[in-house]
Amino acid sequence: MSDESQTPATSKKRRIARRTPGDRLRDAIMTLGGHHGQVLSHDEKAWASITFAGTRHSFSLLFAGAEAVAAGEELIALLPEHEFTIAGQLVADAAVSSADHRMLPSPRLVVDCEILMLEEG
């Protein structure tokens, strides 16, 4: 199918990528870290109990430089009690599983965190 045969509505649908709850969670975590971090990895696995369904997310975030490290330390302090607002989702648990500080040759912090997100409704 050539581009000439597409209607404007069809063309628009192809350009807009749907953002998943995982995408919105990643954005919320980056905002919590003052947009100073870099996502090294993000793994998402389905999770279910007898009464709930959702996803477990594992993040590894890099904060490089003194200002970024300070933002990463703030993320560590705020994450466990942060109230996320992600449409159709409820963050049931958020925890920092590890933090690796290094000062030389330049300040850096790698934060690993685990987040359990449940489907609302």
Which CATH number belongs to the domain containing residue 94 in this structure? 3.30.2000.30
- Supply the range of the domain harboring residue 49: 19-119
Read off the pLDDT of residues 24-42 as tens digits, 9 standing for 90 and up: 999 999 999 999 999 999 9
Residues 6+ positions from 39 with CB-CB distance below 8 Å: 26, 30, 59, 60, 61
45 falls within a domain: yes
97 falls within a domain: yes
pTM: 0.81
Say how far apart CA 93 and CA 105 lie, in whole Å: 35
2 falls within a domain: no
32 falls within a domain: yes
Residue 19: helix, strand or coil by DSSP? coil
Residue 64: beta bridge partners? 108
Number of domains in the chain: 1
7 falls within a domain: no
Read off the pLDDT of residues 50-106 as tens digits, 9 standing for 90 and up: 999 999 999 999 999 999 999 999 999 999 999 999 999 999 999 999 999 999 999
Angle between helices 66-78 and 21-32 (to 10 degrees): 120
**SS3 letters across 45-79:** EEEECCCCEEEEEEEEEEEECHHHHHHHHHHHHHH
89 falls within a domain: yes
